[in-house]
Structures are given as structure tokens and as C-alpha cells.
Structure 1
Amino acid sequence: MNIFRQASQKVNDFAGNRLGIDSGYAGKVDSSGTFCPPSGDYQIEWWVGEEDRWHKPKSATVYTHRRVGSAPIFETKLVTAAGPITATTWASIGRGDRKPSVVTEVLNQSSAPVALAIVIKPLKKMKQLEVEGNSLVIDGFSRLTVDRPPGYWVLQEEFKSLENVITGGQANRETPRILKSKKKEVSGALIVPLTHKSGLRFVASFDKEKSPKPEDFPEFSRISAGWDQRLEPAAKTNLPNRERGGLSHADLIELLFSTPTPKDAVLLAAWGLADDAAERIATAQPNTQWLEAAIELWVRHRRVEHFLSARSIKIEPLVRSMGKRDILSQSTVAGLVSLLKAIGENKGAKDLERLGKGSHHSEFQPFGDLVLETSDGIDLLHDFVPPSWYGEDFEAHNLATRWGNLGFAVRWHGANPALLWEIETHEDSLPRITISGLDPEFSTFKTEGETLLSPPVTDN
């Protein structure tokens, strides 16, 4: 995988949801279905022409926007007088391509034919637009390609002029010449007729040497299935709401697209994506925070291959990166000693006891208020359970704690909650399980079981 190298590029300031694939970030799409590439130089909008007026999702009063499942696939629906127009946007790699492109599929579900304007609006400097076949080439590098010959073209030096040409019905049928501007504010549009109950695709691509065809990209259902498979190792939760924390699969995808940090690497490890955490740690510049992340990864998963294979985490540079004033917690030192012994560095393990001068336990708490990891075990919902959760069944599975792999569920029997739990402990651990937010009196060292708890105390 090479997600670290792709994801570490600068993320633009455009407000929207991130798009990408397993090899990295490919831009953002906002709530109106407008796309902005990683460079942040321009945005691609889609407008709908119906009889004597044009609709823009951004200014329309009736439109919806949603994420399609957990995958970075987004649907924007604009409702016109004749019915809905739906645009679905996702990132993918086409046949023979090396870099991800962004695909938008527009479906006219209305009862009338419409015109679809696919508009390029400059956000920074954009000095040149050129027509090549069914494409608009932007500054000789990126391109916007539609899956059929456009009916009309518009190229203008200023965006306001382009808008007036489109809404005034003055778009050109003839292919325009290349447009260059010293102002570096060029804008353009492809206009395509779209009969009712029909659809089209357009693609934004960013490979100067390739011109991908829209038909070379898989359907978004295949992309969704691929992400589901990709996230199969990840923890799964079914919670009434997010008041007590917890990460969804969509949240984990956002972490995969983010610039790597030690904290995010620990989150990935704790929520089941150990290989992704390992890759980020292995490619990071060594420092104490990354050392702590490496130890957290080891303590939670105990997989020596993360530290011994050819492209694995090199623990020695991480240890050497510590400054004289850097202090590890006692539990972190214990984890490092365990790791060094596991990879055959027994002498180094013996030399590390002097580092254990900090707090007793690590400060990392990757599960928020859902699961608190303590020095002697695990406290589920440690603070309190919101009243909105009373009577609601909930569960969490495959949480990689420092004590082992944890799953638990709460099922209600009238006023009494029943706790079911199972933890696959590491060889050297036996945690105490509590659930102080629901029943402060409950405590057990059993690694699995089911018990009926006392009714929660209410303020009635």
C-alpha cells in the first residue's frame, strides 16, 4: 500500500468531504455536489437548465446531500419542477491509470429533458483552457472529460461573463479555440442535453500523460464493496448516537486520507487498522511521539512482523530520537520492554528501566468515553450513560485494547441492562472489566460472560 505517501500531500482549504481511494486523497466534494481538486485551483459545478431557467444546487431551495454508506461516495439530489436530478461523486482509478480521478454520474430522474452545464470556476490562478475531444484541458495538466460530445461550449476570461452566456442561452455550438488569459481567471463549461430517465458521466483527472475515458471507471457500487472489504478488519459499533464517542467506518476513512500524526496512528491501531498504523509509523520522521505510537501498536496487536520485515518499523531510530528530558509513562516503558524482548533485543530491554519515571499509565485513550483503559483493566462507559441510551441496545466489536481484543454489547430487559462481553487477552494480561457508567458495583476478571446489571439510577 502507498496510502501514506499520497495522503501526506497538502489538503486544500475547500469546505467539503474528502474523496479518495486506497492510494490516497483526490480532492473534496461539498454539500452542493461541487468538486475541488487537491490543488484547490478551481472547482467543478453542475447546473441544470430546465425550459427558461437554470438551477444550481448551491442556490436551490430544494436539494439534498448524503454519504452513500461508509465509503467516500456522495449523492446530491436537486429537485426541479419536473422531478429530481441526482449526481453521485466518487474517486477511482481507471483501466491502465496510475493516479485516482474523480467521477460524477448524473441521472435525470425527472419527467422532462434538461440541459446539464458542467462548469469550471477558478478559485486561484487558472490561465488556460483548451478543448480536446470531449475534454476541457486545464492549464495543460488536469482535464474535465464528459462521456459524449458536448452540444455547446463556453470559454470566458471572467466567470461572471460565463454565467451570463449560459443563462442567456448564448453558448457556442462550434468548438472554441484555446483560451489564454493574463488575468489568470479563465472559466469554461461543457453543456450536454440530457433526456428524461437518462444519465451521463464526467471525470476530473490529474495525470498530464493520460486522458482517461469515463467508461473506463468502475461503478460506484464496486467502489463501495471495495471499501467494505478494505475495512473488514476494523472495529464495528452500533450505538444510539455519538454522545459517548466511537468512530464509524467513515471516520476511519477520513483518518486514512489525513496527513499522518502519531495520535491518528494510535486511533487506526486501536480501531483495527493495524497495518495502516504500522505503515504510517514506519515512514514517519522519528521522534518521541512516534515512538509512543509504535509501542501502542505493539501493545494492542503484538505482531512482530510490524517490526521485523523489510519495510517495517525500525525501533532503534525511534528510541534514539528521545531527548534527555523526554519521559515515557511506566506502562509505555513496559510495552517497549515487551517489544524488544519479542524481537530479540534482550540487552536493550534490560537497559530501559531508567525511562519509566513518568505517570503510571499512558495518556492515549483512543476510544473516548466508550471504553476507558486503566492500569488494571477496562471500564466500559466509565463516566455515565446518557438517558437517551436507556432502553436502547448497543454494541462494539473488535476494539484493540492494550489488554486484548474486546467486544461487548448491552441488551435491555425492561429497566435492567444486560452486559455481554468477550476479550481475547494477551498472554500476560488479565484485565478487570467494569461498567461504572451503568452499574458501579459490577466488576469481574472473567474474559467472557453475560450478566444482568442493576437498573441505572435516574434523577426522577
Structure 2
Amino acid sequence: MANNTDPSSSSSGASTEQNPLDESQGESAGLPAKSSVEIPSRIEPYALSRAAANDSRIVRNWAPLGTVDAGAIADCDPAGLVQMRNETWCLDWWIGAEDRWHHPSIDAAVRQRRIGDSPVLETAMRVPGGDIIQRVFGVRATSAVSDGSLWDDSAVIVEIENLTAVPVALALTIRPYLLDGIGSITSLGSAGSVISVDGAVAAVLSKSVARRVVGELGTVATRLANADDEQPDGTSTSAASCLEGAFVVALPHTAVVRILLPRSTRNEASSRSKKSSAQKPAPTAQWDAPDAGAIDAGWAAHTKQAARVELPDSTFDRVVARSESLLLLAATDEFFAASGTATAALRAAELCDTLVRVGLTEPLGPIARALLGQQRLRGSIRMPDRSDATVALLHVSAPLLAGKQQELWAEDLVGPVAQAIHRLSKGHGVASPSLLRSAVIALGRVAPSLRAVGQPEVADAAEELASSLWESVGLSAAARPSEGSDSAKRWMFAEGLSARSALAASDSSAITSIVELCRIGDQAVLPDCTDAQDLACGAMALDPAAVAVRVGAILDLALIEEPTGLVILPVWSDSWFGSPVEAHGLRTRWGVASFALRWHGERPALLWEVIPGSGVDPTGSGPQFTAPGLDPSWSATGWTGEALLAPMGPVVVASQPEAASSTDDQTGPAQSAPETAANPQVEAPREGDSFT
């Protein structure tokens, strides 16, 4: 934990620091004096400043920030502008370099990246002499309060680092904007390192404010450029609620200034955690919070047990890893929303299916309670668009009934799950082919969980219904979802669902569709809708259901679950010949499945393992495996095994020639093939013999 109190600064009273805007120091300190560069009268956020070049249409492009326990509490746009959710203001960062003031929202030399696979964003802005780096992320922070108590809550940390060779001035600007529109600020005050908006603590700096400029919206940037600043402490008000303030500190070479933005308490119901939503005192100048490196490591630990894939195109691997962190953070955002022609029930089912499949259990409890809150007397789970989310309830119930708190969840879920199974048996709750297929998978997964909590009769009913519905689904893919009459719009959820349907039918054209889908956004965030230029054009900057269905499509490239067994690599691309493939930790009705593909010349070699789940009989024969993309004639049954499949033709890697084999290519857990030229020992994956 980093202590963020600057010993040279005071938390109250006038600062003893040199004024970063003092013209007499400007040349020696590398800071701007009065600027001769024309400053726009109003510097708008990224989305608004680019609307003029986009037919006045606002492009909603930002990423969520937050913690696992509190969920998403803020959003950050591509220029590093941060808006705390439920607040009517945002935090911007302006840099006074030796030539002029630089504003990320309108400067061209700004780029952003994600650190690792976590929701930690790094924005860099080029100024004379090098880059100024901003990092922003959600944390759990603490602060010592004057009465001896401790403030402990979720917050956002903003770090600004000077990588240039000279000092610069940093103006942390509180602005009456939302990310995509006008907000409001009635009062704006500062005392030492604490900045308040409308009477509530909005930001706490790691050092005291040196100077400030506060005024009506549109006046601050010009005054700042003209060095028309004022004393650091004080409070200003505006009847028009359009106040804006720039709070300036010096940022020497290699120095880092940290800013704490406490979670908004305007709407306590937005928090997942009762602990984090309790009334607490405000943070003070004495506060502690982890740094960006620790947060990235923490997210990696949270997703360590989640599913992962290693496909020939590494883009797929990154999209899955980054999307898992994003879904862990913001899966419940827009949960009840419909999008395009997709109903809220279908979107909820796909989201819950992916969360269960990759093993992200944290969001499932809140989702289950939200769905139970929508259940009607006759058992339907009524979404706002009047669609029935019964299938989504079955998806989330499977891991909850088999988890560590299964006894607690059994009291809440067994009755509603039994009612849901009865509704599906009457033909309710499956209004589309895609939802019907999802229902079959959900029924198959929830059956072992019901046995684990002592409900064998309900489990038998679920399995019988799954078999019956599977006959209706057949082996063909569900119909392609309609994308509406507006051909200029692409609905991301519909495209992901269409790709999944194509993969279920072993249509290799789905690979191209998934590749195109992975090129949109930052390999984690996906909007609900894009235009012909792949720019967001819908109401949602982040559509968790679209993110989930894209992950589901990528996982389907590796492994598809069916009532009759598991399908490894349902399709194959000629460009993948000779490339190794791995998939680890995919949750199925039989348990946690993993496999690896290696090559022996022209022949693919498969190794697989399934760890039986709760309620699954480990003495059974195990699931049946097929691999139609590699060898349509091959199949095998067993919890673990290995097999050498038929030759596929020329490969792109060099290998030793093999003698023709006259023996059966398949080896399983009950067979042990001698290592000969005709039947070589299959190479184990890098992790060793165990896939977990």
C-alpha cells in the first residue's frame, strides 16, 4: 500500500510550493508562461469533441473501472477523462509544457492501452521532451479520519507520471460534463489536497494544490493559458451550475501525482456489497491505496481459475482473457436491457451461459437474486420487455447449487428451478431457436447440481426434458438472428450469436466472422451497435451480453457442449495446420474439461481430461468426444485419454516421416500403446499431464 501524503505539503492553509504558473519561473522550470496559442473557448470531452466530424453523432466509447466487490463505479474515455458513476462531473488532466497547455480530449498525440488483461488503463500524451502517462484503475482504499475512525471504500485512483526530461505543470480539472453530455457543478472548493464538489469530497491529491483557476464553463482554459490564477484554497458557487475548476500542482521529471476519487454515494443501491454501501466518513489527505502493478496482479489472481484457450490466432486468447476480467467487473451492467432484435431474456441467457462456462462465479449470486425478484406467481421471470428469462435462471443455478454455499442456495433455488423446468416442459420460455438450444445446455448442467443437493427426481426431470428438447434442436444450427432493417448498423450481440450458430453447424465461415468481431473495440469492451466504420452508434458503450456472446463464440471454436458429448474443434482452418491448440478449465455438465492438440507430421494428436463435477458419477464412462474439424470419423469416450487422428494433408511445420500404422489410432485411458514409429507416444501439453 502506498502512503499518499506529501511531507512537504500541508492539508490546510496556503501552500508553500512555488507557483507552477509563475512567469518568472516558466523558462527555468520548463513550464508555460502566457500562451500565444489560441485556446478553444470550450474544450469538450472526447465523445463530444469528435461528434462534429461524425455528423454530430456522439460515439460512446469508454471502459468501466471498479472492483470485484463494488462492480463498475466509474468510466474512462480514450483521452483519460474519468466520470464517477452517478455523478454529474468528470475529472480531466491538462499538462502545461514548455510550449503550451496540452488537453488530452483534443490533442492528436494521445493513445491508450490496457495494462495486461486487467481493467487498468494507461493513457499517454506526447509533449515536448517525451510522454506524460496517466494510469487509472479501481481499488479498495483506506483513509484516516480526524475522529480516529477509518474510511474504507471502493475508489478510483488516477496516477499522472512525468516521463519527460523537464518539469511540467499538471492541472487536474473538475468539469461539469458527463462523458457524452453536459453535467452540473453548483459549488467547487479546495482545501490543501482535498477538492469538493457540491459539498462532498470529490478528489484527494497526494500533494497540496499550488494554485487554482475556478470559473464558469468555457473560461478556465483561457485563464489558465494566460496565467490568470488564484490562491489554492476557497469555495466558489454558481447559480447556473456550470462551474469548472483547474487545480494545479508541479510535476517534476519522473515524479508521480496520485489522485483518489471516492465512490459516489448519491445512489447507494448501485453497489453490490452491503459493506461498501454503508454510510462512511469522507476520505482525508491521509490515504492509502495499491498501485497499478498490484491491481493488475490482483485481477490476474481473480481470473486464475477461469477458462483459457490457446488458439492459432493469439487474438482469440487475448480477447477471452481481457473479457473475463471485464465481465467479472461489469457483468450486471445493462442486465435487463434488450438490444436490436434480441430480447432481454435471450441476452441474459447468453451472458449467464458464458459466465458459467468460464467459471466466473462472483457475479452469479447477484444475478440469481435479480432474476428471482422478477419471478411471477406462475413461474415466469418477466424482463422489462416482457420476455421470459427462465433459461437464464437455470444457467446461474447450476454452479450455485454445486458451490461452497450450496445449502444456502438450495433453500432459495430448488423451488424456482423445479418451476422453471415445468414451464419449459410446457413450451414456455423458449421463444427462439437460440434460446431453445441454450435451454438444453442449461438443463444438462443443472441436473447434476440438483443431485448434489438431494433432488434426484427434479434432476431426472431436467435430463429427460433436455433430451426431448434436443430432438427439436437437432444437430443443425439455430436460425441466424435478424439484425433489423437498418443495414448501416451492426448489432454485436446478433453477430456473435450468429457465429455461435454457424459453429454448431460446423460452418467454417464462422472463423472469419469471429475474427472480424474481435477487431472491434479494445479486445475487451464491445458496444451494442457499430456503424460501417466500426464506430459505436448505439446507446451502450459497453454491452456485457455482446462481450459474453463473443467469448462464447471463441470458446466454441475450441469446444462445444452437446447433450450427447463434447465436440473438440468443430471447424478448422487450413492456415492452422501444424499449430498447437489448448483449452483449459471449460465448465460442462460432466465437469471441468481441458484438451490439447499436438502434431505428429500430418497427424493431429489429441489429449483430453474431464474432472467430474459435483453430482456427476465419476465411475461412469465419461463423455463422448468427437473432433469433426480434424477427423469426422473419430470418436472416443472417457474422462481422460489420448488419440492419434487420421492424416490431414500437408502441414506447415517440419517433422520426421512416420511409417504407416496398421493399428487403431485411438488410445484411451484403458489402453496403453507402445511407443513405436507406427504409434508414437502423444506429446503432453506444457503444463504436464494434468490440464488443471
TM over 0.5: yes
Moved more, 291-300 or 68-77: 291-300
Give a deviation string over 1:333-378, Cα, whole Å, max 9, x none: 5655554443234565677799665344888974333322123111
| 1:384 partnered with 2:431 | no
| 1:342 partnered with 2:452 | yes
Of residues 293, 313, 326, the one that matches 1:221 is 293
Aligned equivalents of 2:621, 2:107: Cα separation in 1: 58
Q: Helix, strand or coil for the counterpart of 1:358?
A: helix
How far is 1:182 from its partner? 2.3
Query: Match of 2:627, as an amino acid?
Result: I
* Counterparts of residues 53-452 of structure 1 (less than 5 Å): 53-95=100-142, 96-123=150-177, 124-158=183-217, 160-172=218-230, 174-175=231-232, 177-206=234-263, 209-213=281-285, 215-241=287-313, 248-256=320-328, 257-259=330-332, 260=335, 261-284=348-371, 285=373, 286=375, 287=380, 291-297=390-396, 303=402, 305-309=404-408, 313-320=412-419, 325-326=427-428, 333=443, 338-345=448-455, 358-360=469-471, 366=552, 367-385=555-573, 387=575, 389-413=576-600, 415-425=602-612, 426-427=616-617, 430-452=622-644
Distance change >3 Å, CA 346–CA 395, structure 1 → 2: closer
Indicate the structure with greater strand content.
1
Of residues 25, 38, 42, the one that matches 2:72 is 25
Distance change >3 Å, CA 311–CA 254, structure 1 → 2: farther
Tell me, yes or no, if the aligned pair for 2:621 and 2:639 is still in contact at 8 Å.
no
Give a deviation string over 1:370-415, Cα, whole Å, max 9, x none: 322123111122133362x334333210110223211122234555
Q: Helix, strand or coil for the counterpart of 2:151?
A: coil
Runs of 4 or more consecutive aligned structure 1 residues displaced over 6 Å after TM superposition? 242-246, 350-354, 361-365
- Counterpart position of 2:385: none
Distance change >3 Å, CA 75–CA 214, structure 1 → 2: farther
Query: Match of 2:642, as an amino acid?
Result: E
Identity %: 24
Moved more, 334-343 or 81-90: 334-343
- Counterpart position of 1:5: none
Q: Where in structure 1 are there 5+ consecutive unaligned residues?
A: 1-12
Q: Where in structure 2 are there 5+ consecutive unaligned residues?
A: 1-58, 143-149, 178-182, 266-280, 336-347, 382-387, 431-438, 479-496, 501-551, 651-692
Moved more, 333-342 or 347-356: 347-356
Aligned equivalents of 1:18, 1:340: Cα separation in 2: 36
Q: Helix, strand or coil for the counterpart of 2:232?
A: coil
Tell me, yes or no, if the aligned pair for 2:206 and 2:257 is still in contact at 8 Å.
yes
Distance change >3 Å, CA 371–CA 134, structure 1 → 2: same
Q: Helix, strand or coil for the counterpart of 2:296?
A: helix
Moved more, 278-287 or 102-111: 278-287
Q: Helix, strand or coil for the counterpart of 1:251?
A: helix
Q: Helix, strand or coil for the counterpart of 1:368?
A: helix
Distance change >3 Å, CA 349–CA 204, structure 1 → 2: closer
How far is 1:264 from its partner? 2.1
Pick the structure with greater CA Rg: 2
Distance change >3 Å, CA 157–CA 420, structure 1 → 2: same
Q: Helix, strand or coil for the counterpart of 2:557?
A: coil
